[in-house]
Structure 1
Amino acid sequence: MIAQRKDDHVRLAVEQQQDHSGRNQFDDVSFVHHALAGIDRSDVSLATAFAGISWQVPLYINAMTGGSVKTGIINRDLAIAARETGVPIASGSMSAYFKDPSCADTFQVLRTENPDGFVMANVNATASVDQARRAVGLLEADALQIHVNTAQETVMPEGDRSFSSWVPQIEKIAANVDVPVIVKEVGNGLSRQTVLLLRDLGVRVADLGGRGGTDFARIENGRRDPADYAFMHGWGQSTAACLLDAQDVGIPVLASGGVRHPLDVARALALGASGVGASGGFLRTLLDGGVPALVSQISTWLDQLAALMTMLGARTPADLARCDLLVHRDLRSFCTDRGVDTRLLAQRSGSAGTFHEMTGAHDD
């Protein structure tokens, strides 16, 4: 039953990708174009560091799958692509492994095919400390993701209906595992209040996991008979909204959900993310064209991200957070209601002299 559910998730997620080529709230964010901001490509580094974690690049393959023969093959291919491109990678939820240890290899392949890469294990908020440690041990993981997904569980026919234990359990896991803990949403977003709570629980990093990518409430509704939870489709906040809501929360944030291309990666970094995750689009590329197609896509994204940074005058991903941004349409209304001053984002490069210093320009 678990293996079938995992296969259903992949099938329904890929079907959703047909709908994700259009606009989302990342399109409500634009860079102010400064025509003399550009720097030399040779001066650009894609390396990012946060919460004691160092990555070669600010892009990662976010949690997808595992737990069945088919999903084990997908994880193998994702791991190969991660190895070939140097991007970090996360496993899907390892709950299936706890219930059926015989499927361990469908997750462990992420490490065996990618022995030197940055690998994140993934558990749910009901996992015990022992289970969290087992997940980390199985993958020799460099970090642990704990996913939170109340909307998905609510729509899932066999889902959880008891959520009160999640907060104390997250705190317990964060205090008792030996790797950084990242708490992530699965596509409905983390509000500012939630990120501040996670910080107080000892969580090192928050993956905002906003609306705009794979909609797991919609996936679970597709598994229901009848499919009577359609009103839950699109629940939550977009990733761009979550990034704006999470300004200065005191812990690093990662951005995932609705990332369609390198410009979205640059926008997310400029809005304060330390790294940016993609999953659904990468999965579709893998299933359509195999490992070579995914390696090519990721490599192209990284090259194009570096090109954008060169034009914008950002030597590092963190420097993008000093670029001037404009916020438009519904996202601007969200900021007004949540008390986010978008004028500050539009004036971050400061005066002409400060801008001159930021880009590293100098007079001969």
Structure 2
Amino acid sequence: MIAERKDDHVRLTVEQQRRHSGQNEFDDVTFVHHALAGIDRSDVRLATGFTGFEWQAPLYINAMTGGSVNTGVINRDLAVAARETGLAIATGSMSAYFKDESSAGTFSVMRRENPDGFIMGNINANASVDDARRAVDLLQANALQIHLNVIQETAMPEGDRSFSAWAPQIERIAAGVDVPVIVKEVGFGLSRRTIATLRELGVRAADVGGRGGTNFAKVENDRRNVADFAYLNDWGLSTPACLLDAQPAGIPVLASGGVRNPLDVARSLALGAAAVGVSGGFLRTLLDGGVEALITQISTWLDHLTALMTALGARTPAELAACDVLIKGELRAFCAERGIDTRSLNSRSEHLEPTQSTTGSAR
């Protein structure tokens, strides 16, 4: 039953990606163009570090799947793409492995294909500390993701209905494993209050997992005999809204959810993200064109991100957080209601020291 659900998730996610309008609240974020801000491309470095992590680029392949024969093949190909492009990568939820150890290979294939890469396991907030350790051991994981998905569970026919134990269990897992814990949403966003709570629970980083990409309320609603949770399809906070709401977060914040292209990566970094994750868009490329197509896409994204940073005058991903941006539309309205000052973002480069780059400063 779990394997069938995992295959359903992949099928419905890709169908949703193919039908997506392509619009989301990233379109409400615009860089202020400074025609003399550009620097030499040779001075740009994509490497980034946070919470003790050292990544070759501020981009990672985020949690997707695992638990069935078909999804094991997908994880193998994703791991190859990560290995060939130097990206960090996360498995999908490992709940299937905890219930049936015969599915272990659909997850451990990532480490077999990517022996030196940065790999994150992924578990739910109901997992025991022992299960969390099993996940880390199986993957020789560098970090552990815990996903939050209360709206998905609510719409899921066989989903959980009890959530009060999640926070204390996250605290126990964070204290009980030997690798950093990252908590992520699956597409409904993390508010500043949630991120503050996660910091208190000992979580090392938060992946906002905002609305705008794969919609798991719709995925689960499409699996129901009667699609009676359709009113949840627009639930949640967008990724840009989460990033603006989170500051100052006190822990590194990662961006995922609705990231469509290298410009969205740059926008996320400019709004304070330490790194940016992609799932659905990469999955569609893999299933439509194969692993070589995905490697080409990722390589192109990294090349384009370097080009954008060159034009914006950002020598490092961190320096994008000092570039001037304009916030408009629904995102601006959200910020106004939440008391977030957006006007200061459109002229922050004017306050840099003379020795700093025209539009950027390292964190």
Q: How far apart are residue 72 of structure 1 and its match?
A: 0.2
CA distance in 2: counterparts of 1:276 and 1:267, whole angstroms: 10
* Matched residue, 1:23: 23
Residues 1:237 and 2:237 aligned together: yes
| Contact 1:323/1:349 (<8 A) preserved | yes
| Contact 1:59/1:277 (<8 A) preserved | yes
Residues 1:273 and 2:277 aligned together: no
- The letter of the residue matching 1:74 is I
| Helix, strand or coil at the partner of 1:82 | helix
CA distance in 1: counterparts of 2:20 and 2:270, whole angstroms: 22
| Contact 1:349/1:355 (<8 A) preserved | no
CA distance in 2: counterparts of 1:181 and 1:242, whole angstroms: 19
What pairs with 1:202-221 in structure 2 (closer than 5 Å)? 202-221=202-221
Deviation track 1:251-309 (CA, whole Å, cap 9, x = no partner) reads: 00000000000000000000000000001010000001101100000000000000000
Q: How far apart are residue 239 of structure 1 and its match?
A: 0.2
* Matched residue, 1:146: 146
| Contact 1:21/1:260 (<8 A) preserved | no
- The letter of the residue matching 1:131 is D
| Contact 1:148/1:185 (<8 A) preserved | yes
* Matched residue, 2:166: 166
Percent identity (aligned): 73
| Helix, strand or coil at the partner of 1:255 | strand
* Matched residue, 2:11: 11
| Helix, strand or coil at the partner of 1:130 | helix
Q: How far apart are residue 135 of structure 1 and its match?
A: 0.2
CA distance in 2: counterparts of 1:323 and 1:78, whole angstroms: 32
CA distance in 1: counterparts of 2:318 and 2:17, whole angstroms: 30
* Matched residue, 1:43: 43
* Matched residue, 1:64: 64
| Contact 1:41/1:306 (<8 A) preserved | yes
| Contact 1:60/1:275 (<8 A) preserved | yes
- The letter of the residue matching 2:145 is Q
- The letter of the residue matching 1:101 is E
| Helix, strand or coil at the partner of 1:260 | coil
Q: How far apart are residue 357 of structure 1 and its match?
A: 3.3
Deviation track 1:40-72 (CA, whole Å, cap 9, x = no partner) reads: 001000011111111010000000000000000
Deviation track 1:74-129 (CA, whole Å, cap 9, x = no partner) reads: 00000000000000000000000000000000000010000000000000000000
CA distance in 2: counterparts of 1:102 and 1:22, whole angstroms: 38
* Matched residue, 1:357: 356
Runs of 4+ aligned structure 1 residues displaced above 6 Å come to none
| Change in 2 beyond 3 A, CA 1:267/1:355 | farther
Q: How far apart are residue 21 of structure 1 and its match?
A: 4.6
Q: How far apart are residue 249 of structure 1 and its match?
A: 1.1
- The letter of the residue matching 2:227 is A
| Contact 2:349/2:358 (<8 A) preserved | no
Residues 1:301 and 2:301 aligned together: yes
* Matched residue, 2:80: 80
Q: CA RMSD in A?
A: 1.2
> How many pairs does the alignment contain?
360
* Matched residue, 1:103: 103
* Matched residue, 1:313: 313
| Helix, strand or coil at the partner of 2:147 | strand
| Contact 1:46/1:317 (<8 A) preserved | yes
Q: How far apart are residue 234 of structure 1 and its match?
A: 1.9
* Matched residue, 1:132: 132
TM-score by length of 2: 0.97
Q: How far apart are residue 358 of structure 1 and its match?
A: 2.1
- The letter of the residue matching 1:128 is S
* Matched residue, 2:155: 155
CA distance in 1: counterparts of 2:264 and 2:355, whole angstroms: 26
Q: How far apart are residue 356 of structure 1 and its match?
A: 7.1
